[in-house]
A and B are shown apart, each in its own frame.
Chain A
């Protein structure tokens, strides 16, 4: 091996050890929301190209789609979609089937993540009103999760401590994401909604450290009750 080839080999080896650039989590989430929105839009545009065909197929499958398909489609719907209220019905149904504190906590934390993703998409679409509603719904889910932890403390303090740690991690992750989102907010209304959401999330975590006022909180793992704003989340308008 010539000295030149040896040098090239050493340089190549050094290049292989260079640490990759890791995208910030907020970038990845923002990208996913934009990709999802673009895919939905392009799918809708393709459908518009064939209106007659769509009509024929739609008529034949309408009954099935209305009953089964709409339910499935609503699972991925967003607050600005007509199917969004149906998503709440399905989420409520899932909540009824969440037994045990661990399942109920996981259920609320998952819904909180969904609300956060929805809020990000709404901000990306410049719908500060719907984003604010999703953020309120996010905090409602975190509150419900905190109440699960609080009520579990009576039954099993060790398990409650584990649940509290899960909640703490979830709130920390959400807060990081909200902080990224705050930097991207393009209107004062959106920024203010995010600031409030972060404060409410921190309050929810504090709630787990307080003595339980009502051990029956979050009954049966059901989602939080209806809020004043009917569009806050799909679960708010069952």
Chain B
């Protein structure tokens, strides 16, 4: 059951047209379609329910009140909403600071750690979330979009402004970093 992370729909354009004409039902439908996903995305990034709530509301308000800025030229509305959510998290980090934004790509693996011994099935969701938040901004973003939001590589690429190949490479590096981060968290 992953409803909030369900892949973004491409059927938003008719709704957006109706919202532009003042249709409140269409507005509500768009809101319902995206609020849970954005909340889930922001929560995974920040790890605090209160902040996630405020930022999700802020994102939805910006997205739905500034539809005139959304130029529907092949780009998906979902990509636009995720970009607004991403910018909101970056603003949040700037205002409130972010703890330990250190790339783990080159972080030393603990001497006792053997990646092959990491029992991923036994990892708690909390450990996974915490370890993801230790990654770089882009690594967090790619993992959350691909695995928590169930976006395809192409959809994630559209959100992140990268090519599909770049997203796939980034995803591979992010998983490696995550593995190391989890290894570092594993009890000795």
Main DSSP-derived SS at the B contact region: helix
Taking A7-B115, A7-B120, A31-B57 as given, write out 17 further A-B residue pairs in contact, using a Cβ cutoff of 8 Å, ordered by the A residue number. A7-B118, A8-B176, A11-B178, A11-B179, A15-B128, A19-B125, A20-B4, A21-B4, A21-B44, A22-B4, A23-B35, A23-B52, A27-B53, A31-B31, A31-B61, A34-B57, A38-B61
The answer to whether A11 and B5 touch (CB under 8 A), given A21-B39, A31-B56, A31-B60, is no
Closest residue of A by beta carbon distance from B179: A11
Cα-based distance from A54 to B22 in the complex (angstroms)? 16
Cα-based distance from A3 to B176 in the complex (angstroms)? 12
Cα-based distance from A31 to B59 in the complex (angstroms)? 10
Task: Decide if A42 touches B65 in the complex (CB within 8 Å).
Answer: yes
Closest residue of B by beta carbon distance from A43: B22
Pairs across A and B, CB under 8 Å, 28 listed:
A7-B115, A7-B116, A11-B120, A14-B123, A14-B128, A15-B147, A16-B2, A19-B2, A20-B2, A20-B3, A20-B5, A21-B4, A21-B49, A21-B52, A22-B39, A23-B35, A23-B52, A27-B39, A28-B36, A30-B57, A31-B35, A31-B60, A32-B31, A34-B57, A34-B61, A38-B61, A39-B27, A42-B65
Q: Is B18 an interface residue (CB 8 A)?
A: no
Q: Is B155 an interface residue (CB 8 A)?
A: no
Chain B residues in 8 Å Cβ range of A93: none
Q: Is A126 an interface residue (CB 8 A)?
A: no
Chain B residues in 8 Å Cβ range of A24: 49, 53
The answer to whether A32 and B28 touch (CB under 8 A), given A12-B175, A23-B36, A23-B39, is yes
Q: Is B121 an interface residue (CB 8 A)?
A: yes
Cα-based distance from A38 to B58 in the complex (angstroms)? 10
Q: Is B80 an interface residue (CB 8 A)?
A: no
Q: What 9 A-B pairs have minimum CB-CB distances, sorted nearest first?
A: A15-B147, A31-B57, A21-B43, A23-B39, A20-B4, A14-B120, A27-B53, A42-B65, A8-B175
Cα-based distance from A42 to B61 in the complex (angstroms)? 11
Interface size on B, residues (CB 8 A): 44
Chain A residues in 8 Å Cβ range of B172: 8
Interface size on A, residues (CB 8 A): 31
A22-59: CB near B (< 8 Å → 1, else 0) gives: 11100110111011101100110000000000000000
Q: Is B40 an interface residue (CB 8 A)?
A: yes
Closest approach, in angstroms, between the C-beta of A83 and any C-beta of chain B? 14
Chain A residues in 8 Å Cβ range of B116: 3, 7
Q: Is A213 an interface residue (CB 8 A)?
A: no
Chain B residues in 8 Å Cβ range of A94: none
The answer to whether A10 and B125 touch (CB under 8 A), given A23-B39, A35-B57, A35-B64, is no
Q: Is B129 an interface residue (CB 8 A)?
A: yes
Chain B residues in 8 Å Cβ range of A34: 57, 61
Task: Decide if A39 touches B64 in the complex (CB within 8 Å).
Answer: yes
Question: Which of A15, A19, A23 is close to B143, meaning CB atoms less than 8 Å apart?
Answer: A15
